[in-house]
Structure 1
Amino acid sequence: MAGATGDLGHRIGLALLARGAVVRALVRPGSAHKPEVATLREQGAELVEVDFNSVMALTQACAGAACVVSALSGLREVIVDLQKRLLDAAVAAGVPRFIPSDYCIDYTKLPMGSNRNLDLRREFNQRLDQAPIQATSVLNGMFTDLLTGQAPVVLFKIKRVMYYGDADQPLDFTTTANTAEFTAAAALDPTTPRYLRVAGEVATVRGLQKAASQATGEPFKLLRMGGVWVLGALIKVTKALMPASDDVFPPWQGMQYMHNMFTGRPKLQPLDNARYPDIRWTPVREVLATRAG
């Protein structure tokens, strides 16, 4: 697998090991000392330092694998270019299956240009679909963990749940841990379809309000900022005012993600949660309770 030094990749590696898999973690030279990688090694994973710019080196590293799992994070040079080299290596090594670094809302239902990071995933997956390898993308909505920090939806200080558009629009949330567990199970399942869609909980904004109230023991209220078009306008203004940067997640990127979700277009359906019945799905309330505590 690639991307083991990131939070999700590290969790996928541990989940694979917990299921008895033989795990080979591909890491950049000099990364073997990182705590995340050391933990995987202690749990029994094989660590291989490899030049990700070399298809030949990646091909050697992929030899004998049953599935290549990517949890790489970045912009074009990673999601498109580096993953393309990893894909070419997997094909050259005769690996039968490939799981790309998607882990998001259903970008297949979104128009081009509505989300920069998801457009890159769509572009890579178009190449993946042309490759002679069985591919499976895991789509999980928004990481529930973001509700306690990076995603300004549940505002703990003022006891409000902020939103745009319809408070009854269903939204998909899955914890990073659950996404890792499901991905690990899928990696060990040779019968997976092209797309697998999961949601630890499908909650409306009103559902988030109820969950926050239950988690904190204090009443939360709704804070409607306007129609979805208002958020779209704010995104344009924010992008115009911000200097160009190589940040993977600038403020407007998170806004784009929320805009996509509030429109309802990328809603995941049907859900494949029941495919691996041993997974216990963590509800939103439990995640919010960690912040409340």
Structure 2
Amino acid sequence: MAQTIGVAGFTGKFARCVVNSLLQNPGISVRGFCRDPSKLPLSVTASSRITIIKGDFNDKDALQTFVAGTDVVICCYLGDAELMSEGQKLLIDACVAKNVPRYIAGDFSVDITNIPYGALPPKDPCKDILKYIESKDIQGIHILIGVFMETFWSDFMQIWDPKQKRLSYWGTGHEIWESTTYGNAADYTAAVAMDTTAVGIQQFLGDRKSLIEIAEIFAKVYGYEPDLHNLGALEDLHQSMHKSLQINLADVMAWMPKFFFYWSQNEDTRLKKDLDNTNYSHVVPVTFEDFIRCHKFEELASAADNLTFEIPDRS
């Protein structure tokens, strides 16, 4: 079935993966919205199946031009609270004005539904949008995927230290990490976008493993055991992250990784057992072991920086 799907925040790394997934399907055309199309490679701007609309997040005319004629809009914004809250509201308003039937919100990592306001500050805008969509004449979709697997290994999470060959953690090490690769998350997002019956909260995962289990997989694949460094109990982390927030509010990297670690390990953010993976059986979940086997250990920390557009050569 021919569809036109809008992707806002088109130059972002997750948007690239989503577009790659969408264009594997010959009947799909993509409309992209971004501030600076010059960041896009020629393979994207020259594609007959992609139309790019340039505009700032608060350019109401450009937003309406972008969403007009789309069957669903996917928000791939990533930025500050103004972009994630006010920016999404303007995008939703444009969708409503142009009768777009469905909107996929910019949620993805960490289940926001049971987190109180202020408990994970970067996700408060997502909670705002959850309520905002309910008040509008449009079907909202919220895709939750745990932690991006590439991000788990990145410097941001402060878990993997490639120089020391060390995995650092708070808690016992037996707490479960729920994680999905960018590629898997994009495949599920594309599948949901093309499925006109898909609405509401959708939950997908590549894998569930404890840090102890991940270390065992690491040792099996690479042939040596990583050093395991315990940083304290989760209660210690809770105190530390709030202290860091109070002292270094402007320095987000001093506290944000701790908040994401804590809430990724909290039972209130666990995804459901009967995942929505089964609705799209053509998507093959990538496990931690799959991911590790596909990367040299020195590539793990930079995996999130090496995502590229791979536009299919199809008319």
Normalising to structure 2: TM-score of the pair?
Answer: 0.85
CA contact (8 A) 2:32 2:66 kept: no
C-alpha deviation, 1:264, in angstroms: 2.3
* Paired position in structure 1 for 2:291: 287
C-alpha deviation, 1:288, in angstroms: 3.2
Structure richer in strand, relative to its length:
2
CA contact (8 A) 1:141 1:268 kept: yes
How far apart in 2 are the matches of 1:127 and 1:147? Answer: 30
Aligned sequence identity (%): 24
How far apart in 2 are the matches of 1:220 and 1:76? Answer: 37
Letter of the 1:183 counterpart: T
How far apart in 2 are the matches of 1:26 and 1:210? Answer: 43
C-alpha deviation, 1:221, in angstroms: 4.7
How far apart in 2 are the matches of 1:27 and 1:146? Answer: 23
Correspondences of 1:1-293 after superposition (within 5 Å): 1-20=7-26, 21-28=28-35, 31-35=36-40, 38-43=42-47, 44-150=49-155, 151-242=157-248, 244=250, 250-269=253-272, 270-289=274-293, 290-292=295-297
User: Secondary structure of 1:23's match?
Assistant: strand
Structure 1 regions of 5+ residues with no counterpart?
Answer: none
User: Secondary structure of 1:72's match?
Assistant: coil
User: Secondary structure of 2:113's match?
Assistant: helix
How far apart in 2 are the matches of 1:142 and 1:101? Answer: 14
Q: Which moved more, 1:157-166 or 1:197-206?
A: 157-166
CA contact (8 A) 2:45 2:51 kept: yes
Q: Which moved more, 1:234-243 or 1:120-129?
A: 234-243
Structure 2 regions of 5+ residues with no counterpart?
Answer: 1-6, 299-315
CA contact (8 A) 2:54 2:62 kept: no
How far apart in 1 are the matches of 2:55 and 2:228? Answer: 50
C-alpha deviation, 1:61, in angstroms: 2.1
User: After the TM superposition, which segments of 4 or more aligned residues of structure 1 sit over 4 Å from their partners?
Assistant: none
Change (3 A) 1:152 1:211: farther
Change (3 A) 1:166 1:264: farther
Change (3 A) 1:251 1:208: farther
C-alpha deviation, 1:284, in angstroms: 1.3
Deviation track 1:17-53 (CA, whole Å, cap 9, x = no partner) reads: 112311000122xx122135x4433443111113432
- The alignment's C-alpha RMSD in Å is 1.8
Deviation track 1:213-249 (CA, whole Å, cap 9, x = no partner) reads: 123210135332221111112212322332525xxx6
How far apart in 2 are the matches of 1:286 and 1:193? Answer: 30
How far apart in 1 are the matches of 2:161 and 2:39? Answer: 34
How far apart in 1 are the matches of 2:190 and 2:257? Answer: 26
Q: Which moved more, 1:19-28 or 1:159-168?
A: 159-168
Normalising to structure 1: TM-score of the pair?
Answer: 0.91
CA contact (8 A) 1:141 1:199 kept: yes
Change (3 A) 1:285 1:251: farther
C-alpha deviation, 1:211, in angstroms: 2.0
